[in-house]
Amino acid sequence: MARLVIVSNRVASPKERAAKAGGLAVALREALGKRGGLWFGWSGETSADAPAKPKMMRSGPISYALQTLDTEDQRAHYAGYANGTLWPLCHYRLGLFAFRRSDWEGYRRVNATFARSLMPLLKPDDVVWVHDYHFIPLASELRALGFEGRIGYFHHIPWPTPEVFYSLPSHAALVQDLGQYDLVGLQTEHDVRALLTYISAEARGWIGPGGVVGLHNRRFRVAAYPIGIDAEAFVTDAKAAERSKDRKRLLASLAGRSLAVGVDRLDYSKGLPNKFNAFDNLLERYPEHRSRVTMMQIAPVSRGEVAEYQQLRRELEELAGHVNGRYAEFDWVPLRYLNKPFPRATLAAIYRTAKLGLVTPLRDGMNLVAKEYIAAQDPEDPGVLVLSRFAGAADELPGAVTVNPYDIEGMADVMNRALLMPIEERRERWRANMDNVVSNTIHDWCERFLEDLGAREDRAEESSGS
Ligand code: ADQ
């Protein structure tokens, strides 16, 4: 079996325990452990005279290589092009989207730096798996340095439809970069259609059966690989949570009230103000839920250095204060708003206790919280998942009650309905969701992508059909 090399912006530290590292980090570590491999990424450090070589570490069969970046390059790459340009663009937020040529150049420089730092560590038959929008040009840079082995790319966030994608001045170059991969994985069939439509209409590529694409004398494949979770671990944690201290504390604090829970990074794609407003609207229009339902929103701060995220944080603090000021009683705080991260076991206890799981992003590649919430439910008395139609997970979870997060009153109506839903319907819906969660875990996702990447025989210079 060929050695696996994983590239991602942040690398989960070898010391991080499974319960703390996310499901993705655990699955990637497992894949590396099986084949032996190298995990390459940013060290999290910057300096004015960053060394050209990465810091090396080893833990069992896995090597880690962590590259430090030039301070200004890292800013242009991360806060600039990756999170100021690509993130809003891919989440359909043109109002928040900004393009600066210097950021685009910095993004390319960082990808070139990473390629130069990685190249000496690569063996010709390594399989390289690149993760996410920070690294779209990495394959181009590696090819320019002479690497001819297999390279796959997985895009964790949505791929925008052509009309939105055209707003990006560098759209043609970015898709040309994608063509240097052998396999491009997206979250949903919708994303695949969006990219293929662009490739055939704008880039004059050809599309063959099974998502094989011919573009600029290259042949590669584009396909959907919907990401999953470690379902077994969540089920185990949630069962154990029945008797945990966290669960007892939570139940005592609720004093018999129903819980509705949201767990999202503090990000404008997650639709948090709309969710707060919908809860406010529920309490306004359905007063029977006052003092009977508590909403808990867990939202750890993310990208706190970016202005749009600071603004969102202020907005949410104001909204939470508004809801609580309006409806709180001396023994009931309607909205509990927390900015800190929790271990998986605590999250599992909270999910299991919650009658409603509120996953209402304005746009999301997949959304793993939706799947975690399902896995953590008690099959005999499951809660209801309220899910945005704009999350990739909506394609996968047919038992969810879907909402349009732009429709505040509509969301409030659905929350009301979900709170009153009879047990038979809750069980039926949960079963339909759970079937999907267990049949497509993070391990299946990882295996499927790597199998397809390994099976690519048609990578060679494309000679016909264009
Ligand atoms: P994210 O935007 O980060 O991921 P999501 O899929 O919901 O979104 O994953 C978040 C993860 O962080 C979940 O596993 C969740 O449990 C965890 N988490 C959130 N809040 C936490 C807290 N307070 N404490 C501990 N853990 C917390 C991107 C894309 C998604 C895509 C994933 C994976 O934006 O659409 O599903 O990658 O591909």
Residue 301's pLDDT is what? 92
Structural domain includes residue 420: yes
How many angstroms does the Cα of residue 191 sit away from the middle of ligand 1? Answer: 19
CB 122 within 8 A of CB 149: yes
Q: Is the pLDDT of residue 307 over 60?
A: yes
Q: Clarify whether residues 26 and 117 are in a common domain.
A: yes
Q: Clarify whether residues 25 and 156 are in a common domain.
A: yes
Q: Is the pLDDT of residue 30 over 90?
A: no
- Ligand 1: atom nearest CA of 342 is 24
Structural domain includes residue 336: yes
Residue 464's pLDDT is what? 38
Structural domain includes residue 211: yes
CB 300 within 8 A of CB 339: yes
Number of domains, the chain: 2
Residue 460's pLDDT is what? 41
CB 359 within 8 A of CB 298: no
How many angstroms does the Cα of residue 411 sit away from the middle of ligand 1? Answer: 22
Condensed to tens digits (0 to 9), the pLDDT of residues 320-329 reads 999 999 999 9
- Identify the residue whose C-alpha is closest to ligand 1 atom 33: 156
Q: Clarify whether residues 285 and 150 are in a common domain.
A: no
How many angstroms does the Cα of residue 419 sit away from the middle of ligand 1? Answer: 25
| Ligand 1 pocket mutation, candidates 367, 395, 442, criterion most atoms within 8 A of CB | 367
Residue 19's pLDDT is what? 53
Q: Per the structure block, which two tokens stand in for 332?
A: 């009931």
Radius of gyration of the chain (CA): 23
Q: Is the pLDDT of residue 23 over 90?
A: no
Structural domain includes residue 466: no
Structural domain includes residue 174: yes
Residue 1's pLDDT is what? 78
Q: Clarify whether residues 122 and 244 are in a common domain.
A: no
Q: Clarify whether residues 168 and 237 are in a common domain.
A: no
Q: Clarify whether residues 246 and 207 are in a common domain.
A: no
Q: Clarify whether residues 258 and 212 are in a common domain.
A: no
Condensed to tens digits (0 to 9), the pLDDT of residues 72-81 reads 999 999 999 9
Which residues are the active-site residues? 156, 364
Q: Clarify whether residues 44 and 176 are in a common domain.
A: yes
Residue-number span of the structural domain to which 261 is assigned: 231-438
Residue 20's pLDDT is what? 60
Structural domain includes residue 127: yes
Condensed to tens digits (0 to 9), the pLDDT of residues 100-140 reads 999 999 999 999 999 999 999 999 999 999 999 999 999 99
Q: Clarify whether residues 223 and 238 are in a common domain.
A: no
How many angstroms does the Cα of residue 203 sit away from the middle of ligand 1? Answer: 33
- Ligand 1: atom nearest CA of 158 is 35
Domain containing residue 156: CATH number: 3.40.50.2000
Q: Clarify whether residues 70 and 90 are in a common domain.
A: yes
Q: Clarify whether residues 161 and 269 are in a common domain.
A: no
| Ligand 1 pocket mutation, candidates 17, 369, 397, criterion most atoms within 8 A of CB | 369
Residue 461 confidence class, pLDDT cut points 50, 70, 90: very low
- Residues in contact with ligand 1 by the CB-under-6-Å rule are 22-24, 156-157, 227, 263, 265, 298, 300, 341-342, 347, 364-369, 372
Q: Is the pLDDT of residue 463 over 60?
A: no
Q: Clarify whether residues 386 and 270 are in a common domain.
A: yes
